[in-house]
Amino acid sequence: MPQPDLSVVFPVYNEEENVPILLGEIAAALDGRRWSYEIVAVDDGSVDGSLQVLRDSRTKYPNLRIITFEKNAGQTAALDAAWRAARGTFVVSLDADLQNDPADIPPMMKMLEESGADMVIGVRVNRHDTWSRKMQSKIGNGVRNWITGDHITDTGCSLKLVRREAVARVKLFTGMHRFLPTLVRMQGYKVMEMPVNHRPRQFGISKYGAMNRAFRGLADCFAVRWMGKRMLKYRIREEI
């Protein structure tokens, strides 16, 4: 396949019921549109039937590529592998659990093209999570923005579309996928936000608890703040 316009990437950790539905939704959203696309699924060491389901799906979806990890390495690692494997001019990431809606991808592509931005990130307007999860996010986004000096409404939304060259420059560390818009912005790229759909998780379970999110997240905020302060800022005047 020649280089596609778009790579749709998602990390998979024990999402066997969700994967077939997700693939169908991606195809429904993108087949017949003006963008050529590939799908890159990263199996992050699933111990259910996810990998088999992915393998079996390749006959129906020949544009599906699969990367498998030796063992569970976490969501940031899976996303990093996906972004590195992606061949599209643009890359859109989303969760495999159907909480994000692939129908949002075409409007995001249009916004990116029309605005000339380098990244469009989703803002979950009708968030379908527990009250305590929504509260954690509210506090998390507030603290994050306050410490990093950024202004991102919903950095926890996995639905993110980015010019691949922009994400290729970012060195990721565990947990840092949540700071991707800030890290991309630090490189001098333009990031925009767009309201997107959000749905309740129907199958499988959430992989996170409140504690691992909050405490690690706080340390990450300071790391990102430090990076922002220490960014190399220079422009070459002349090369002789």
Least distance between ligand UDP and beta carbon 89 (Å): 24
Residues binding ligand UDP: number (CB under 6 A) = 17
| Residue 208 binds ligand UDP (CB under 6 A) | yes
> Which of 18, 99, 100, 136: binder of Mg ion (CB under 5 A)?
99
Burial degree of 147 (CB within 10 A; 0-12, 13-18, 19+): middle
Site for ligand UDP in 14-43 (CB under 6 A): 15
CB nearer to ligand UDP: pick between 84 and 110: 84
Does the protein bind ligand UDP through residue 13 (CB under 6 A)? yes
* Spatial distance between the Cα atoms of 97 and 202, rounded to a whole number of angstroms: 8
CB 234 within 8 A of CB 156: no
SS3 173: coil
Locus of tokens 């997240």:
217
Q: Is-contact 125 42, C-beta < 8 A?
A: no
Which helix (H) or strand (E) segment holds residue 68: the answer is strand 64-68
Using CB under 6 A, which of the segments 71-79, 135-143, 187-195, 223-231 binds ligand UDP?
Answer: 71-79
| Footprint on residues 76-95 left by Mg ion (CB under 5 A) | 95
Instruction: Tell the smallest beta-carbon distance from residue 218 to ligand UDP (Å).
Output: 17
State the nearest-atom distance from the C-beta of 216 to Mg ion, in Å.
Answer: 17
* Burial bucket for residue 61 (CB in 10 Å: 0-12, 13-18, 19+): middle
Distance, CA of 69 to CA of 108 (rounded, Å): 29
The residues facing 64 across adjacent strands are: 39
User: Which CB, 163 or 177, lies closer to ligand UDP?
Assistant: 177
**Stretch in the footprint of ligand UDP (CB under 6 A) among 58-66, 119-127, 166-174, 203-211:** 203-211
Kindly write out the interface string for residues 90-109 of this chain, putting x where it contacts ligand UDP by CB under 6 A and - elsewhere. -----xxx-x----------
| Shortest Å, Cβ 239 to Mg ion | 48
